[in-house]
Structure 1
């Protein structure tokens, strides 16, 4: 039998892993009202405290800013959550990071591009002053989180379910969340709730603020 050419390997090496996909993550946010919605911080420890309090034992990312809803999508319609995933995917260590998120439930911090400082009013313009002047006095804000999907409930959902009709217990938890977000959205910021962002239906976020409008009059 003729010898095998030296350039032919004995075995075919496995393909290099390509890493996680956007479908491995879900987009969540705290939302409320403030006077200055666009605030930045790179305080990893403070973001970690807020993440653990709201998201719980799930790997993922805090996004190092709060935003007005009309800052969440760039002119091309790409969200700050998808951009955070793209920034993560560009990291050479993404496989190791994804493993830490999955096995050790590690939260990371990602700084959004400066381009998200710009406002881009959506076709649904109900949060503008022209449509609803009340939102120039009580300005909507969002604090986004990109979370590794997992079967376990997020801490916010678990706390709300555990509190049930016990308003005192729920009040304690909400006060803890408000205290934890002070470094990014200090008083007089008002926390309204927590939700999941639907890339296909961003207007659902606007609806949450509209549902609170009557309380502000």
Structure 2
């Protein structure tokens, strides 16, 4: 029988491999321009309050027109370049893997009445039962934060749904399909049919997500430049009033 155990820090390792940065050229542009947009608004608000700027004036109208034009230009990377529609999902069966990480380390949401714990899983789509599409990812197990929560034990088989093919996000299936039940029964009888260490699929990332110092520089640098531009624009319009 195959041991549903990898050790040692399985969740951390899978998370690190799946959490990839948004590195398309359009992602870099969107981070910079969105940072500029928010910085511009903040800079203008600060300058308007600081200089006691009169909006009900010719200078105020000029400032409004220029601001609207700049906002449209800075927002253009979002509406000129449309992201492709999400691809189709797939019914899958997931098996919980063992890990040396404690539940406390893997708890990522804890509130007055609820909690969620990451579980490492190995996954097989029911449409590709030859193992060629197997992958690893993590799922969140939700429960009450009252001491009664018990996470699924290693080796537990679950019928889930892959939200989009090619990515590691999973969700609960509304109901177990006959194909999923058949695969669950097969893996329960012969666990070795699914290995514990297939590749990790990435999580789907948005353009504004930041994974390294370059992404942070694009975002915060854009905000700083936008604040300076907003203050300068208000001062410039005020001088021509």
Select the structure that is richer in helix. Answer: 2
TM-score range, shorter chain: under 0.3
With the length of structure 1 as denominator, give the TM-score of the two structures: 0.23
Larger-gyration structure (1/2):
2
With the length of structure 2 as denominator, give the TM-score of the two structures: 0.21
